[in-house]
Structure 1
């Protein structure tokens, strides 16, 4: 289903609490995948060292109801591609005007030219205790990060 002008709220949860929520424009929802577009929702500029997210940046975000990750294409306000920020999450849930995902700590950054692929926050993941608390989710999370890294290294969609 195409829903080119519907507004939704993206809700990113972590450890049972809302980490951040922000408005987004629903671009598509085919029953499995959901794509939205949103401006940078952070306060001010966030410099990660390998990329800066700042006011004016535009995120085209792709979520799936059957995958354990989300892929966010990041563009500067002038349209220049910065790269892709990938969150390892539980599969997305959509309802009541909200797109809800639970962050599982692991992340992947892929630069615009694909030359830099960085696995992020593996220490946070290990410290979270999820491997003991929910070993099945931990297994899915590690598999999702490995899959994202492989897709990025091969330059396969959505990293083309």
Structure 2
């Protein structure tokens, strides 16, 4: 679709599930879906400001989110309202499932942050992952999640996330 098209952009609802419960759901603009890789854009869907210490998510921020049906992670580019890239927040997830206008993603607790300049790459929530009991209840998923975190960290340190088509 051309940028000059009068047609409205396709919309999806992103549904983030954690521990069998819906954690958050929000509308997003569907940018692309090639059958494997789904890309959406949405404003910060949280309430108010979320300050992690190393980055703040706040009203006006825009997330361009990349999901895959064959990968155990999602990569979210975070931009401030003025367009400045803050960095990339990555969730370790089961592969995404799109059904009609819903994109359902199961969060597996592990996360990774990469700052815009690439100097800050950090693993997050490894304690939550250990406490989740996934290693006991679904060892294959736990192994896939750990491998996905290792893969993401290597990507973040080696080349970053500017080109996610690969």
How high is the TM-score relative to the length of structure 1? 0.96
Within-5 A mapping of 1:114-125: 114-125=118-129
Deviations 1:105-147 (A, max 9, x none): 0000000000000100000000000000000000000000000
Counterpart CA distance in 2 for 1:54 and 1:36 is 18
1:153 counterpart = 2:148: no
Conservation of the 8 A alpha-carbon contact between 1:151 and 1:159: no
The residue that corresponds to 2:18 in the other structure is: 14
The residue that corresponds to 1:99 in the other structure is: 103
1:34 counterpart = 2:38: yes
- Deviant stretches of 4+, over 3 Å: 1-4, 156-160
The residue that corresponds to 2:70 in the other structure is: 66
Shift of the 143–39 alpha-carbon distance from structure 1 to 2, 3 Å rule, reads same
Gaps of 5+ in 2: none
Shift of the 16–140 alpha-carbon distance from structure 1 to 2, 3 Å rule, reads same
Counterpart CA distance in 2 for 1:8 and 1:159 is 23
Report the Cα offset of residue 155 of structure 1: 1.6
Q: Secondary structure at the match of 2:149?
A: helix
- How many residue pairs match? The answer is 160
Which structure is larger by alpha-carbon Rg, 1 or 2? 2
Gaps of 5+ in 1: none
Shift of the 101–4 alpha-carbon distance from structure 1 to 2, 3 Å rule, reads farther
Conservation of the 8 A alpha-carbon contact between 1:7 and 1:25: yes
Counterpart CA distance in 2 for 1:130 and 1:158 is 31
Report the Cα offset of residue 4 of structure 1: 8.0
1:143 counterpart = 2:156: no
The residue that corresponds to 1:126 in the other structure is: 130
Conservation of the 8 A alpha-carbon contact between 2:13 and 2:28: yes
